[in-house]
Amino acid sequence: MSTVQFFTNTLVRRGGLMLLSTALLSGCHLYKPLQAPPPLPVPGTFAGTSHPASDSVSIANQTWRTFFADPYLVQLIDTALAGNLDLRIATQRIEQARAAFDYSRGFLAPTVNAVASAGVDRYGRNTLNGVGNFDTNLSDNVRGNLLIPNPTPDYFLGARSTWEVDIWGKLRNRRKAAYLRLLGSEKGRHAVITGLVAEVARSYYDLLALDGELEIIQKNIDYQQRAVELVRVQKQAGRVTELAVQQFTAQLLNTQSRRGQVRQQIVEAENQLNRLLGRYPQPIRRGTSLQERELPGLVATGLPTQFLNRRPDIRQAELELSAANVDVEVVRAEFLPSLNLSAYVGLNAFRAGVLFNPGSIAAGVLGGLTAPVFNRRFLKANYQQSVAQSREAYYRYQQTVQTGFSEVITGLRGVENYRAVADLQTQEVVVLGRAVSTSNDLFVSGYASYLEVITAQRSVLEAELALINTKRAQYLSLTDLYRALGGGWE
């Protein structure tokens, strides 16, 4: 019988009894499996939506190319997805998680290392090896190269292997937790994409709103310049005083200064958008201002169940929770005995000259069970830490779901409320525009003072600027709603 067969048979005969006794000894103190927390109750529909609970239509089902439709915005988002640094960082996190998963898979298979080693020992005359070697050299069977020198070299060329047999599923659970975190990192990248798409759209609409403000201010500057020219003519005719000319001129200068401020805001908004695109400052190509645009008439949110399955950060939090629960099972298995096997095969000799002889072939295998006895307090602390991390992941998942619902309802109400505000402000601008024409006619006829004309001009300017800002809020709310529902990551 060979040495390998001898050790294998011995392990089979005695290992079962050792495994049973040790498992019973350790199992008495094993913690119970972690109890799953109660399921998180969620509303059956979004508060404030006008769609029935069975309506599964959602704007999040549209790709961002279809949802935004603006070719300039689509091109900007494409550029951002190719060059944004936050997205590249998220991609590297996926690579880290994938490497961790591959690393965890390696524990399930034996590790085999090629070994080439050389050493020397000088055994004392009163040691076990010293006496044994001395006595061996006196044998008639030991001659020539078989004599053991002192100091005694030790040469080995071959392979060594170690393997922890996964009898309790500990290593498989480690692999499972790593795989769940890999999936979670992919969802995290999707969350970065949704946030990036929404942020690019928000910055783009900010620019379009600033363009609208600039158009409104320029239009009012033209009106006010004509008013200054008119009041100067009337002063020459003796119908008004120098005070009226000064008041009209001061209002014109104020409006012109506002134009300069808006131009600077446009530069800042362009630079902010360029940072999102991952490039240096340059002009942003864009379409018409928000003055010429209207929101779509129907905004559908779909069902909360769709939202939970679609929103990336919620899915990521759910996967992190599952991974944390698996981690608890891994720690529970640490309380149980582990079965470790080690083996080697190769050439072993105490003389280099005979290392490659057939008589130098050596092999061995060893198996052993280890169970924690005196270090259980460390395992208990590790278990308690894992349980706390699992609970933290559960509460973080709850928090993410609640935040998602809040963002959806805020965006939905914002779209509806700002739509109503914009309708009223549009009527206000029309009325004030008529008031400007009326005040100009009355001023020319002598039935209105110059202060009434100035007030009418200032009022229509403020009303138009308020309307363009409301339109901006409409588009930002719609963009936020699209992101909150989980749209934009395809």
In this prediction, residue 40 carries a pLDDT of: 72
pLDDT digits (tens, 9 = 90+) for 344-360: 999 999 888 888 888 88
pLDDT digits (tens, 9 = 90+) for 123-141: 888 888 888 888 888 887 8
Residue 84 CB-density burial (10 A; 0-12 exposed, 13-18 middle, 19+ buried): buried
Helix (H) / strand (E) element for 116: namely: strand 111-121
Tell me which of 219 and 7 has the higher pLDDT. 219
Strands (E), 144-245: 152-165
pLDDT digits (tens, 9 = 90+) for 163-195: 988 888 889 999 999 999 999 999 999 999 999
pLDDT at 28 over 70: no
pLDDT digits (tens, 9 = 90+) for 297-348: 678 888 888 888 999 999 999 999 999 999 999 999 888 888 999 999 999 9
Report the share of the chain in percent with pLDDT over 70.
92
The Cα 245–Cα 229 span in angstroms is 9
3-state secondary structure 355-406: CCCHHHEEEEEEEEEECCCCCHHHHHHHHHHHHHHHHHHHHHHHHHHHHHHH
The contacts of residue 394 (CB under 8 Å, 6+ apart) are: 37, 321, 324
